[in-house]
Amino acid sequence: MLKHGHEKPQNPSRVVVLGSQGFVGSHIVQELKNRGINVLALSKHQLDLLDNGASANLLGYLKPEDALVVVSAIAPCKNNSQLLNNLKMIQAVTDALEKITVSQIVYISSDAVYADQVSLANESSKCEPSTLHGMMHSARELMLKATVKVPLAILRASLLYGLTDPHNGYGPNRFRRLVAEDKTITLFGEGEEKRDHIHIEDVAKIVALTLQHRSQGTLNIATGQSHSFREVAEMIVSHSRKPITIQGTPRQNPITHRHFDITACHQAFPNFHYTALETGLIKIIQEEGAIA
């Protein structure tokens, strides 16, 4: 759960965002600017966390009154080399944080840190990742916890979707692109698995609220409503101007589901409401049409 340093929201003096040009980071930067928050957006071009002098370079940007949002990662983390590089990146951050005290740290993590068999996840669920991506985030969380003495908020996001997603992962992002290209949507099995899908703008809003309340602790970013991949495909197809085929395939892996108990989010931010999946899908389909 999160504990708030500020009962009423107030803008931090400045927020430094690492990974500001990525899918998640760019939306966070835009949301903070929309709220009138002073932002220093640092991308790989300004600060490459894999450089040998990255820690010293980061120190040159930070001020004691800053809040720091860490988004930078090689993601998804798929191999040992990427895992080691991700740990090197966060070591550059922790090395800098040992030399300067900032006002708050927010780390964008993932629900991949939880064990696969956790079907109803909350912030107390056991962290037992089965993938390198989950292991990467779990290790980074531990490294930050071992170093940071100021309020640290760890935000574990479920599956993200949005117009500018670069990964084309299985689910909303891939399905809508297939529909836009008049191509068949191919499911794993019959698409029975249920997952919680998050609109990227909701992630940015939760980060902004966490900063404005100077919160610390752990929070899952999830809607509390899970849908099967077939349901997601059918939602997208229902808004297509042309008939699109949805086809299943022989199942290769066991069916698993992931649901979230979002009581902690309701308690932390009672006035915040997540975007319903179909509403979010319609929004990005319309946005995509507007720029086509």
pLDDT digits (tens, 9 = 90+) for 57-80: 999 999 999 999 999 999 999 999
Helices 132-147 and 80-97, axial angle in degrees (round to 10): 10
Which among 46, 131, 59, 122 is positioned nearest to 96, based on CA atoms?
59
> Do residues 143 and 153 make contact, with C-beta atoms less than 8 angstroms apart?
no
216: β partners = 3
pLDDT of residue 240: 84
Structural domains of the chain sorted by starting position, each given as residue range(s) with its CATH number in brackets: 2-160+199-223+257-274 (3.40.50.720)
Structure-derived torsion over alpha carbons of residues 15, 16, 17, 20, reported in degrees to the nearest 10 = 110
pLDDT of residue 292: 42
Residue 289 has pLDDT above 80, yes or no: no
pLDDT in tens, 265-278: 999 999 999 999 99
**Which residues are CB-neighbours of 155 under 8 A, at least 6 positions away?**
106, 107, 108, 109, 203, 206, 207, 210, 218, 219, 220, 221
pLDDT of residue 119: 81
What burial class does residue 21 get, using C-beta atoms within 10 Å of its C-beta: 0-12 exposed, 13-18 middle, 19+ buried? middle
Structure tokens at 202: 């909701």
pLDDT band for position 288 (50/70/90)? confident
| Backbone torsion region of residue 182, taken as left when φ is above 0, otherwise alpha when ψ lies between -120 and 50, otherwise beta | left
Structure tokens at 233: 């495909």
pLDDT band for position 291 (50/70/90)? very low
Tell me what percent of the residues of the chain surpass a pLDDT of 90.
89
Name which residue leads in pLDDT, 168 or 220: 220
Distance spanning both ends of the chain, measured CA to CA: 41
**C-alpha 218: how far from its chain's center?**
13
Average pLDDT over residues 257-268: 96
pLDDT in tens, 194-250: 999 999 999 999 999 999 999 999 999 999 999 999 999 999 999 888 889 999 999
Which among 111, 102, 206 is positioned nearest to 148, based on CA atoms?
102
**For the chain, what is the mean pLDDT?**
95
pLDDT of residue 100: 96
Residue 150 has pLDDT above 50, yes or no: yes
pLDDT band for position 118 (50/70/90)? confident
pLDDT band for position 4 (50/70/90)? very high
Q: CA–CA distance from 137 to each of 29, 82, 89, 154, 209 (Å)? A: 21, 12, 12, 10, 22
Least confident segment among 28-42, 173-187, 204-218: 173-187
- Whole-prediction pTM: 0.95
Amino acid letter, residue 75: A
Measured between alpha carbons, how far is 110 from 258 in angstroms, rounded to an integer?
A: 13
Tell me what percent of the residues of the chain surpass a pLDDT of 70.
99
pLDDT of residue 117: 79
